[in-house]
Amino acid sequence: MLSFWEKDSYYAHTDVIIIGAGLMGLWSALELKKHRPSLSITILERNSTPLGASTRNAGFACFGSLTELLSDEAQMGTQAMLNILEARYKGIQKIKSYFSETTIQYDPCGGYEAIPHSHETAAHLDDHIHYLNQLLSPITNLDKTFTNRSAQMQEIGLKNFDHLVGNVLEAGIHSGKLVNALTKLVIENGVRILYGLEVKEWDSNSNSVQVETQNGITLKANQLISCVNGFTQQLMPSLNIAPARGQIIVTNAFERLPMKGTFHFDEGFYYWRSLGNRILIGGARNLDFEGEETTDLFGTEKIRTHLLHFLREHIVTEESIEIEQYWSGIMGFTPSKKPLTEWVAHNTIAAIACNGMGVALTPVIAENLAKMVTANL
């Protein structure tokens, strides 16, 4: 039984309840407070720290790689692809406006994408680079976001790839420090975060919305925002969000770091970066799409070993490459690959599915979400 004091403070009725204290939940709370400082907001997080994607990702600012953008354009059309790209660009600027580069270890190291001969863009790579550079220029104010760096492959530290495209706007970020800094800011803005409360179910009625937690606590609010991303299926099955596990390994420390920067291959299915004097690599979900469509955080030997062999095949070094650490995170994917902000009841909205690129996108999606929610309060 809760005490009167607890009911009247921690678990008191609030204007807004947000489920999930990952990047989406945190940016949403901050934007709501910016729009309407008087709002009372409680974030409910099931774990003692966020446990989904935000602190378990690869730490790329995620501006977007050449083949990924061209594939997005083919799938969703030019304007939709540009809209998402602009949101990513603005999102990165926004993160930098809130936090110093030191606080979140933002490293504007640039990025590269390795492209095989067999890829459809390879035959006319320079034309594709030119095309995208022109398309992106009004957003980035740069003539050359992408450049052909194939000739420098060896000196960049890579081998056994056919082509290499440089991307001056990609950057590395420390995901743990970003979420910590953002959490601190959210709390400073008067938002309450309750950790260790897993929402089991929610119920919307004409006056309010009620959530029940696994440990039997009931909380009420005027509005509910779900930011549980890859775990949406459990709470809001109608939204059709597919979970997707991303597995990551980190190597031993190198005496001489073979490469520096962020790297992509295979339309973003493989991603690796320098991490101090180690290499972090993640992905290879396309090796077992079915098996990786899960919210289970235990990864597989098969994918970890594959990622290790990938590094051994493609990194120029005389030193041995071994796995020292590994973990998994869970992403949420919409069928269209577009982020989704959708009302599921008159006072309940979901903001989810940044489709594996939420670092840059969540700050911008949160702006729109805050407008929608405050207009409804």
Ligand X SMILES: Cc1cc2nc3c(=O)[nH]c(=O)nc-3n(C[C@H](O)[C@H](O)[C@H](O)COP(=O)(O)OP(=O)(O)OC[C@H]3O[C@@H](n4cnc5c(N)ncnc54)[C@H](O)[C@@H]3O)c2cc1C
Q: Which residues bind ligand X (CB under 6 A)?
A: 19-25, 44-47, 50-54, 56-60, 62, 198-199, 227-231, 235, 246, 248, 282, 329-331, 352, 354, 356-360, 362
In the complex with ligand X, the residue whose CB is nearer, 125 or 330, is 330
In the complex with ligand X, the residue whose CB is nearer, 110 or 329, is 329
User: How far apart are the C-alpha atoms of 178 and 99, rounded to whole Å?
Assistant: 8
Instruction: Give the chain's count of helices (H) and strands (E).
Output: 11, 16
- Rounded least distance, CB 126 to ligand X, Å: 27
| Residues 6+ positions from 46 with CB-CB distance below 8 Å | 196, 197, 198, 199, 214
In the complex with ligand X, the residue whose CB is nearer, 45 or 113, is 45
- Rounded least distance, CB 198 to ligand X, Å: 4
In the complex with ligand X, the residue whose CB is nearer, 32 or 125, is 32
User: How far apart are the C-alpha atoms of 93 and 360, rounded to whole Å?
Assistant: 9
Three-state SS sequence of 255-284: CCCCCCCEEEECCCCEEEEEECCEEEEEEC
Helix-helix angle 23-35:358-375, to 10 degrees = 40
In the complex with ligand X, the residue whose CB is nearer, 166 or 243, is 243
- Rounded least distance, CB 94 to ligand X, Å: 13
Token couple for 157: 């530290």
In the complex with ligand X, the residue whose CB is nearer, 157 or 230, is 230
Q: How many CB atoms lie within 10 A of CB 225?
A: 30
- Rounded least distance, CB 118 to ligand X, Å: 25
- Rounded least distance, CB 359 to ligand X, Å: 3
- Rounded least distance, CB 59 to ligand X, Å: 5
Burial code of 248-260, b = ≥16 C-beta within 10 A, e = fewer?
bbbbeebeebbbe
- How far is the CA of 165 from the CAs of 111, 121, 136, 266, 292, in angstroms? 8, 11, 15, 12, 28
- Rounded least distance, CB 154 to ligand X, Å: 26
Cβ-proximal residue to ligand X, closest one: 52
- Rounded least distance, CB 344 to ligand X, Å: 14
In the complex with ligand X, the residue whose CB is nearer, 129 or 248, is 248
Whether 261 contacts 271, CB under 8 Å: no
User: How far apart are the C-alpha atoms of 182 and 351, rounded to whole Å?
Assistant: 18
In the complex with ligand X, the residue whose CB is nearer, 246 or 258, is 246
